[in-house]
Amino acid sequence: MIALIQRVTEARVAVAGETIGAIGPGLLALIGVERGDTGAQAERLAERLLGYRVFADAEQRMNRSVRDVHGALLLVPQFTLAANTDQGTRASFASAAPPAEGQALFERLVECARASGLEVATGSFGADMQVSLTNDGPVTFRLRAAPPAR
């Protein structure tokens, strides 16, 4: 599983012009699920999202996590993160998880994140979404759970 995380002052996701998820300060995480990913990887990615230190401490160093600052999470499924872009001019999605598996693992990730007690908002799996954000920094990282077994 892959997460592209961005530290934000605010973020929202809309479907058909209606906001379905919004947060204030925290992390926007675009989530890609790859073929072969497991529930254990969803749990590990949730741990990494909650504990990854991207917020400033008193010395202005990135030493605090979203959990430490009591921030929020906006989790948005994005299958294109699982694309293979190594060759040519068009992405291959052969490495992306099938939709039913991807949705189940995304939902497991959301469940784990919500168990933290932080505010967690989500996008809608398979929907045409519009995501807006104010990137704080900007600060953007790509996180992975353990790579899928091959």
Q: What is the pLDDT of residue 114?
A: 98
Q: Find tokens 């799996």 and name the residue.
A: 125
pLDDT for 149: 53
Element (H, E) at 106: helix 99-114
pLDDT band at residue 150 using 50, 70 and 90 as cut-offs: low
Q: Rounded to an integer, what distance in angstroms lies between the CA atom of residue 41 and that of residue 104?
A: 12
Does the pLDDT at position 67 exceed 80? yes
Helix (H, G, I), strand (E, B), or coil: what is residue 102?
A: helix
Torsion of CA 97, 134, 67, 126, to 10 degrees: -20
Neighbours of 87 (CB within 10 A): 8
Single out the catalytic residue among 19, 80, 85, 140.
80
Among 30-39, 78-87, 126-135, which stretch is predicted with the lowest mean pLDDT? 78-87
pLDDT in tens, 73-109: 999 999 999 998 999 999 999 999 999 999 999 999 9
Residue with the two structure tokens 């430490």: 68
What average pLDDT is seen over the chain? 95
Residue with tokens 């052969």: 94
79 is catalytic: yes
Domain ranges of the chain: 2-144
Indicate which residue of 78, 106, 122, 125 is catalytic.
78
> What's the farthest any 2 CA atoms get from each other in the chain?
46
Query: Which class is 2-144 in CATH?
Result: alpha beta
Task: Let me know if 106 is a catalytic residue.
Answer: no
The model carries a pTM of: 0.93
Mean pLDDT of the 119-148 span: 92
Active site residue 93: no
Task: State how far the Cα of 1 lies from the Cα of 34, in Å rounded to an integer.
Answer: 6
Task: Write down the catalytic residue from 79, 106, 122, 125.
Answer: 79
